[in-house]
Amino acid sequence: MSWTLTVRSGRLLLVPGAILTFLLLPKDGRGQELGVGCEIISARTFQRTVLPGSQSIVWMGTPNLLCADGASVRADSAISYSESGRNQLMGNVVFRDATRELRATEADHYTVQGQLFARGNVVFKDLGTGREIRGDTLTLLEAGDSRPVDQLTVRGRPASALLPREDSTAGPSPGGAGTSGPGVSPYRITARVLRFEGDRFLWGDADVEVERDSLLITSDSLAFDREAGTLVFTGGARMEEEGAVFEGERMDVRLQDDVVDGIEIRGDGRLVNEDIELVAPWISITIEDEKIQQILATGEEGSSRDAQPTPHLVSQQFFIVGDSLDIQSPNEVLDRVNAVGRAWGQTFAEGDPLPPLDMRPSQRLAEGPISGRVLTSDWIEADEIEVLFGTVGGGGLGAARAGEAVPDSLASTAIAGTGTDQRGEYFVTQLTGNRSARTLYRTPPEEEGDVPVNSALAAAAQAESPQVDREHWPLSYILADWIAVYLSEIGEVQKIEAGGSVLGLQLDPETGTAATPPEDSL
């Protein structure tokens, strides 16, 4: 996954000097230097009217001007008013110098006020860097006594800014190569309104999109502070990057040397990739070397914990809930999850249905400690839960930390016959609950009918609809100060450890019957 998001650009916009100083006030005729150093190269028509008080108005048809700084100005027609300082250009307006170009249908420049207005298919290009801004209208308020820096606003349906990454400032590309060369894609920012303030600030309002290669960010508004290295997206913010989706009402993206090193999501936060789905009111993501290293998820500060959704993490193999979640994934390898406060951990074996994402532990247990829903899966509840992960075929990390080897009798059969290499897929190796811990789990019998249970599980793992009859396995319920549950690669409980004040019971299925007991009864 790539997290390079370069927006550094020196000046986001530099308007040609001819725009800021253009003034058609020839003193003696059309063939000489203009008052500010712009010479008339050609013009189809030329008319100068002197007004009372030595003021004048100049009309020109198809003017072609060349200024002392090398800038050229062309238009279908131009009018200059010496009294107001207004210079009006109409039709196919082009300002161009060695490094920049501005095109528009019409343009008005007010010399005294330091204002420029351009209308109609406005296109500004920085010829040196490739930066390009487009819109229906452009307004420039020049720096002066009332404004310390230039302020520029572009409007359109949409307005857009194309911001290439620069070789001298950009980080590595997604493939690890440098940023030079034609293969480096620019960032494209679109919105109904784009506002620039000097070199530092950029705002986008309404229908904001930031796009580059596989990266796409959308929101209602954008605020970019280049010096602080922060991008703030508000209002239905959504980021997509190489299969990962991030969503929230507000999303703060932190940049270090123009490379993303963190993301903070507030309000209805959601993170989804091919392995997990995380939902929480507040999510903080730490990124190093363009890889996610840690994810924190909690409720929002100042809100009652009962009045907001409980952070929860779900995948095809597990479901973890807590008032706060700390997900450790060094170099994007899922290692452990710490759930604190009303924590609940649940694992799924092959073929188990996934739980409703909006169900809280309190809602589960409100149905009663012995209910059909609670009895359908193995689970653990405690004040704190630590969940450890391994990879399919790679052994169990949790048991290794505990100083024991996890039996791998099911390791090969769990992925046999799938036709794909599933090594690298995550599975829960251990769940440890601390303080007020309790767990409910099933243990497989020695045989599933007349077939050894390991063979039955292997056959079920290969089948599209597993047929192992877990409902008639022995059921255990334990309460203790702490409980550790060790699991196999296909989600079956292998071993239980408990300490402190331990209480428990085991329920064995009634032999000689295949009848399914009614729900909420034993």
Q: How confident is the model over 109-157, as pLDDT tens digits?
A: 887 788 889 999 999 888 887 889 999 999 988 887 788 888 899 999 9
- Over residues 184-198, the mean pLDDT reads 89
Give the Cα separation of 217 and 79 in Å (integer).
44
- pLDDT confidence of residue 227: 85
460 has a pLDDT exceeding 80: no
24 has a pLDDT exceeding 80: no
Element (H, E) at 103: strand 100-110
- pLDDT confidence of residue 314: 87
- DSSP 8-state class, residue 460: H
What residue type is assigned to position 375 of the chain? L
66 has a pLDDT exceeding 50: yes
- Over residues 401-414, the mean pLDDT reads 32
**Residue 276: pLDDT band with limits 50, 70, 90:** confident
**Residue 338: pLDDT band with limits 50, 70, 90:** very high
- 135-144, 166-175, 226-235, 501-510: lowest mean pLDDT where? 166-175
- pLDDT confidence of residue 229: 87
- pLDDT confidence of residue 142: 83
Residues 6+ away with beta carbon under 8 Å from 124: 13, 15, 100, 101, 102, 103, 132, 133, 134, 138
23 has a pLDDT exceeding 90: no
- 293-307, 425-439, 480-494: lowest mean pLDDT where? 293-307
404 has a pLDDT exceeding 70: no
- Over residues 363-372, the mean pLDDT reads 44
Task: Return left, alpha or beta for 146; rule: phi > 0 is left, psi -120 to 50 is alpha, else beta.
Answer: alpha
- pLDDT confidence of residue 37: 58
What residue type is assigned to position 429 of the chain? T
- pLDDT confidence of residue 370: 43
**pLDDT (tens digit, 9 = 90+) per residue, 244-260?**
899 999 999 998 877 88
**Residue 343: pLDDT band with limits 50, 70, 90:** very high
- pLDDT confidence of residue 308: 57
- pLDDT confidence of residue 266: 94
237 has a pLDDT exceeding 90: yes
- Over residues 284-294, the mean pLDDT reads 91
- 188-192, 268-272, 415-419: lowest mean pLDDT where? 415-419
- Quote the longest CA-to-CA distance of the chain: 117
- 92-101, 312-321, 334-343, 513-522: lowest mean pLDDT where? 513-522
For strand 55-61 and strand 475-487, is the pairing parallel, antiparallel, or unpaired? unpaired
Question: DSSP letter string over 175-213?
Answer: TS--S-STTPPPEEEEEEEEEEETTTEEEEEEEEEEEET
317 has a pLDDT exceeding 50: yes
- 94-98, 129-133, 471-475: lowest mean pLDDT where? 471-475
- pLDDT confidence of residue 183: 56
**How many percent of the chain have pLDDT more than 90?**
33
CA distances from 427 to 276, 414, 491, 498, 521 (A): 11, 12, 8, 22, 32
Please give the model's pTM, rounded to 2 decimal places: 0.73
- pLDDT confidence of residue 376: 62
**Residue 42: pLDDT band with limits 50, 70, 90:** confident
Task: Determine contact, residues 255/262, Cβ cutoff 8 Å.
Answer: no
